[in-house]
């Protein structure tokens, strides 16, 4: 591929995208209305029957943790709610939905298409919880959207439409999700935290407590709390997943989780639709509870939410799935893209980061070597790393898909299932099992069933890759204007380098080690990389005080 660069001083390329948060205020909150829409009440659900089925599924733990029951509806801008025209010609549409006894409510839209400038908000009746604005940035080709959850059993949907785009918006709801568990303890007031057991350890607790191995997990923990997300799957299921780096280190928003969270056959990327999935990042507290009976104090919900994803690969025997998020995480979030180890090296100690039962982010640690083991759960066999007994913390339903890390801070697997659970403030001594990253690397032998086509698209075959923060992956700092052409890249031997002026060059490997140096004295030059091992390298070109660094690939 030929790439042409015209690079300006200290240029940082950051893709700007909108984000859905709970920090903005709906427009109606500053207005007084003469009339209100008629409240629409959902039919009651058979909670006893639902809980009986959950008791069975929770023991198997090879399905997404179910927190809600879907109620079919047909509600849109034309057959429900109330329109109000404002003095300047802008309009507001408000819809009020009640599902009695619900702990949370969220929505599945079969038509979501907003024009530029329009906004949609969700909030509860007492205005203690809200999410939005949803804008045109959440539009997807098929019009599908899954919302985040709102606490309470009485929720409003508000749509603001500027006069300039009157009648251009389309919103249609096909399912209301009655949340009956998973986001809080059932007390007089439904709390938003502490659904998980008392032996769980908040991610901000000391990750080294009680360990005698000498490993300091602090930096690794700090990195991955910026990578892990709680997932709402198809409106009523919960799993955990992790942003993951690829060899090109180009900030492609790949997201790594468990295949059983999909419930789909191997290689389902051509037909599986995850446009109604939602991903909530950086939900943790700086006032942690570390395996006690006390409740965690912290934010009720993630403040950073993205919507929709495209399945790239899934593989049952490794229980692995890889998605590409439909929205690029905003640069201001500076998420961490996790590293990985595709070797079969036995990890001597491990750390997990996860959202048990949909709760705020937790960690768990094992100080012994994991064991490679085939495990059958619910009739499905997977090749796993077995954790015999957690030394600190535990996992639960909702933790499925969460990453297992080695002591180099690299992903080696994702949670498949197990029997570990809390017994008071300690765990029950039972095992957990993580699908192996190394098995998923070549998976089922096709791009739709293996990781390597996506995480190593140039087939450079590194055994490991370190993680990086978004600002490192997405920024190129240049000291002055340099005009340069580099091609072909990747290359098996010779790379053409076209320059306006003579310049010196250095080639570094991924660890920063200097591999070769030289000079380009012509307009048309060639860089010989025939003797280099296959992989990714950095080519730094310096022309006086001006310099540029660019990735090159040897294949």
DSSP summary character for residue 261: G
Q: Inform me whether the pLDDT recorded for 248 exceeds 60.
A: yes
Structure tokens at 162: 């500027």
Look at 322-336, 434-448, 509-523 and tell me which has the smallest mean pLDDT. Answer: 509-523
pLDDT band at 333 (very low <50, low <70, confident <90, very high): confident
Count of CB atoms situated within 10 Å of the CB of 24 = 13
Q: Inform me whether the pLDDT recorded for 194 exceeds 70.
A: no
Place of tokens 């400038």: 117
Q: Are 306 and 281 in contact (CB under 8 A)?
A: yes
Question: Which is higher by pLDDT, 546 or 32?
Answer: 32
Task: Render pLDDT for 261-294 as a digit per residue (tens, 0 to 9).
Answer: 998 999 999 999 999 999 999 888 878 889 777 7
SS3 58: helix
Phi, psi of 517 (to 5 degrees): -140, 165
**Best-predicted range by mean pLDDT (25-34, 93-102, 507-516):** 93-102
Q: Are 506 and 513 in contact (CB under 8 A)?
A: no
DSSP summary character for residue 224: H
Question: Which is higher by pLDDT, 99 or 333?
Answer: 99
Q: Inform me whether the pLDDT recorded for 7 exceeds 50.
A: no
Q: Does domain 482-554 have CATH number 3.40.50.300?
A: no
Give dist(CA 121, CA 92) in Å, integer. Answer: 11
Look at 135-144, 188-197, 365-374 and tell me which has the smallest mean pLDDT. Answer: 188-197
DSSP summary character for residue 1: -
Choose among 509, 2, 529: nearest CA to 247: 509
Question: Which is higher by pLDDT, 499 or 175?
Answer: 175
Mean pLDDT of 176-204: 65
Task: Render pLDDT for 358-381 as a digit per residue (tens, 0 to 9).
Answer: 889 999 999 999 999 999 988 899
pLDDT band at 510 (very low <50, low <70, confident <90, very high): low
For β-strands 482-487 and 494-499, DSSP reports them as: antiparallel
What integer pLDDT is reported at residue 64 of this predicted model? 86
CATH architecture, domain 27-179: Sandwich (2.60)
Please, what's the b/e burial string for 95-134 (b: 16 or more CB within 10 A of its CB; e: otherwise)? bbbbbeebbbbbbbbbebbbbebbbbbbbbeeeebbbbbb
Give dist(CA 232, CA 308) in Å, integer. Answer: 10
Mean pLDDT of 233-261: 96
Mean pLDDT of 222-246: 96
Question: Which is higher by pLDDT, 544 or 494?
Answer: 494
Q: Is the peptide bond before 183 cis (omega within 30 degrees of 0)?
A: no
3.40.50.740, 3.50.50.60, 2.130.10.10, 2.40.10.10: which CATH number matches 201-469? 2.40.10.10
Task: Render pLDDT for 149-162 as a digit per residue (tens, 0 to 9).
Answer: 999 999 999 999 99
Mean pLDDT of 464-478: 76
| Secondary structure E strands in 12-66 | 40-41, 65-66
Mean pLDDT of 205-217: 95
Question: Which is higher by pLDDT, 116 or 472?
Answer: 116
Task: Render pLDDT for 29-52 as a digit per residue (tens, 0 to 9).
Answer: 999 999 999 999 999 999 999 999
- pTM of model > 0.85: no
What integer pLDDT is reported at residue 186 of this predicted model? 35
DSSP 368-412: S--EEEEEEETTEEEEEEEE---SB----TT-TT-EEE-TTSEEE
So where are the chain's domains? Answer: 27-179, 201-469, 482-554
Question: Which is higher by pLDDT, 512 or 440?
Answer: 440
Mean pLDDT of 309-321: 98
pLDDT band at 301 (very low <50, low <70, confident <90, very high): low
Mean pLDDT of 431-435: 97
Count of CB atoms situated within 10 Å of the CB of 479 = 15
Look at 25-39, 133-147, 424-438, 471-485 and tell me which has the smallest mean pLDDT. Answer: 471-485
Specify the length of the chain in residues.
555
Give dist(CA 467, CA 469) in Å, integer. Answer: 7
What integer pLDDT is reported at residue 489 of this predicted model? 87
Q: What is the mean pLDDT of the chain?
A: 88
What integer pLDDT is reported at residue 535 of this predicted model? 79
The shares of helix, strand and coil residues in the chain, as percent rounded to the nearest 5, are 10, 40, 50
**Best-predicted range by mean pLDDT (25-29, 316-320, 395-399):** 316-320
């Amino acid at each position: 591929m030929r790439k042409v660069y015209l690079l300006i001083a200290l240029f940082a390329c950051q893709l700007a995208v909108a984000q859905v948060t709970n920090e903005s205020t709906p427009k109606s909150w500053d207005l007084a209305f003469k009339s209100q829409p008629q409240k629409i009440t959902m039919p009651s659900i058979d909670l006893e029957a639902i809980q009986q089925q959950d008791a069975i599924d929770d023991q198997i733990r090879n399905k997404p943790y179910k927190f809600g029951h879907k109620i079919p509806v047909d509600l849109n801008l034309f057959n429900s709610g109330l329109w109000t025209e404002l003095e300047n010609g802008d309009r507001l549409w408000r819809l009020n939905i009640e599902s009695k006894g619900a702990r949370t409510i969220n929505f599945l839209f079969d038509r979501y298409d907003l024009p530029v400038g329009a906004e949609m908000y969700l909030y509860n009746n007492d205005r203690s919880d809200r999410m939005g604005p949803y804008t045109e940035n959440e539009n997807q080709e098929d019009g599908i959207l899954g919302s985040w959850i709102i606490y309470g059993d009485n929720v409003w949907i508000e749509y603001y439409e500027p006069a300039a785009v009157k009648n251009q918006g389309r919103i249609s709801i096909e399912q209301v999700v009655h949340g009956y568990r998973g986001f809080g303890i059932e007390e007089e007031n439904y709390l938003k935290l502490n659904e998980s057991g008392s032996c769980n350890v908040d991610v901000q607790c000391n990750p080294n407590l009680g360990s005698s191995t000498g490993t300091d997990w602090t930096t690794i923990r700090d990195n991955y709390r910026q990578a892990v997300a709680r997932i709402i799957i198809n409106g009523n299921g919960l799993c955990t997943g992790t942003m993951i780096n690829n060899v090109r280190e180009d900030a492609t928003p790949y997201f790594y989780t468990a295949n059983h969270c999909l419930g789909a056959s191997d290689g389902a990327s051509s037909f599986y639709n995850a446009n109604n999935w939602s991903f909530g990042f950086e939900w943790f507290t700086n006032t942690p509870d570390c395996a006690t009976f006390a409740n965690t104090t912290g934010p009720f919900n993630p403040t950073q939410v993205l919507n929709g994803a495209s399945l790239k690969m899934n593989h049952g025997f490794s229980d692995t799935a890889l998605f590409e998020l439909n929205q690029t995480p905003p640069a201001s979030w500076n998420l961490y893209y996790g590293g990985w180890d595709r070797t079969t090296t036995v990890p001597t100690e491990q750390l997990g980061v996860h959202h048990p039962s949909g709760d705020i982010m937790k960690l768990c640690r094992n100080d012994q070597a994991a064991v490679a083991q085939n495990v059958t759960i619910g009739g499905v066999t997977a090749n796993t790393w077995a954790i015999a007994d957690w030394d600190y913390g535990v996992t639960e339903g909702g933790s499925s898909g969460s990453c297992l890390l080695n002591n180099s801070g690299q992903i080696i697997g994702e949670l498949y299932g197990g029997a570990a659970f809390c017994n008071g403030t300690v765990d029950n001594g039972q095992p957990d099992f993580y699908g192996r990253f190394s098995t998923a690397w070549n998976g089922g032998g096709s791009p739709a069933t293996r990781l390597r086509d996506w995480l190593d698209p140039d087939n450079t075959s590194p055994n490991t890759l370190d993680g990086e923060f978004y600002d490192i992956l997405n920024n190129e700092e240049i000291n002055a204007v340099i005009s340069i052409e580099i091609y072909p890249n990747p290359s098996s031997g010779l790379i053409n380098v076209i320059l306006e002026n003579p310049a010196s060059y250095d080639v570094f490997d991924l660890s920063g080690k200097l591999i070769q140096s030289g000079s380009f004295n012509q307009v048309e030059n060639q860089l010989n990389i025939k003797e280099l091992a296959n992989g990714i390298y950095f080519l730094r070109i310096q022309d006086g005080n001006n310099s540029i660094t660019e990735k090159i690939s040897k294949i």
